[in-house]
Amino acid sequence: MKRLPVDPGGRRINRTADEYDMARYIGPVCRLCRRETVKLMLKGIRCESAKCPMERQWRSSPPGMHSWRRGKGSNYLVRLREKQKVKRYYGVWEKQFKRYFEIATRASSNTGEGLLQLLERRLDNVVWKLGLAPSRATARQEIVHGHITVNGRKVDRPSFRTSQGDTIGVRSSEKSKKFIKNMVGESPPPVQEWLERDETKLEGRVASLPTREHVQIPVEEQLIVEMCSR
């Protein structure tokens, strides 16, 4: 059991689990897209509509006062922004990102491409790209609540690393099927060629491992490698 933090007066501070563990970002997600100056698809369908702030010229600038005055960033800032963009796009924290980078450096393939491939293979990303959830945040909710199975077994870890040939489906309970059907809607988006989907069974399959071309945001992974290798 975790102990509650103590204020300077010695009193226990009652905080929620999210505030204490910092397990997820609970602020305005559109602010993150504006900061990285690219759509991170954090709100699903809303990001593709005219309501997205990135579609409005007067709100698409980075947050903060006098953002229009800011000059060109330093080399460190350029590399930092690339790393933050990828972290926010896939919804991972710094400790998780460092772990993925360490795994990518030990592989024989290109480190940058290997890093992006590991992130693409996350279960929450696969569930989202299969159209079983409108956004990655919703995909994580579905996984944590036990609605998603991998090869017929329940998996409740969004960071679960999928492999070629894995079958991702929905639990056989009526509650899970009804919940996922409401999330999917009548016209799910098309899937990428490394994935296969069976809409009648509400399941999909990892036909092959993802490649660099399957990353849907502009990323210069070499800048990330240069920063994390320092």
Q: In terms of domains, do 161 and 195 share one?
A: yes
Q: What is the pLDDT of residues 80-102, one digit of tens each?
A: 989 999 998 898 989 999 999 99
Question: What CATH number does the domain containing 1 carry?
Answer: 1.10.1050.10
Q: What is the pLDDT of residues 128-165, one digit of tens each?
A: 999 899 888 889 999 999 999 999 999 999 999 999 99
Q: In terms of domains, do 146 and 179 share one?
A: yes
What is the CB neighbour count within 10 angstroms for residue 115? Answer: 25
pLDDT at res. 105: 94
Domain interval for residue 20: 1-71
Q: In terms of domains, do 84 and 160 share one?
A: no
Q: What is the pLDDT of residues 18-62, one digit of tens each?
A: 333 334 677 777 778 777 778 777 777 776 667 676 666 555 566
The residue that leads in pLDDT, 60 or 191, is 191
Question: What CATH number does the domain containing 160 carry?
Answer: 3.10.290.10
pLDDT at res. 158: 93
- Residue 118 near residue 211, CB atoms below 8 Å: no
Q: In terms of domains, do 94 and 23 share one?
A: no
Distance CA(192)–CA(40), nearest Å, equals 18
DSSP 8-state assignment for residue 37: T
What is the number of structural domains in the chain?
A: 3
Q: In terms of domains, do 84 and 138 share one?
A: no
Q: In terms of domains, do 132 and 197 share one?
A: yes
In percent, how much of the chain has pLDDT > 90? 43
DSSP 8-state assignment for residue 90: H
Q: In terms of domains, do 113 and 141 share one?
A: no
Helix (H, G, I), strand (E, B) or coil at 32: helix
Question: Across the chain, what does the average pLDDT equal?
Answer: 81
Q: In terms of domains, do 89 and 138 share one?
A: no
Q: In terms of domains, do 27 and 134 share one?
A: no
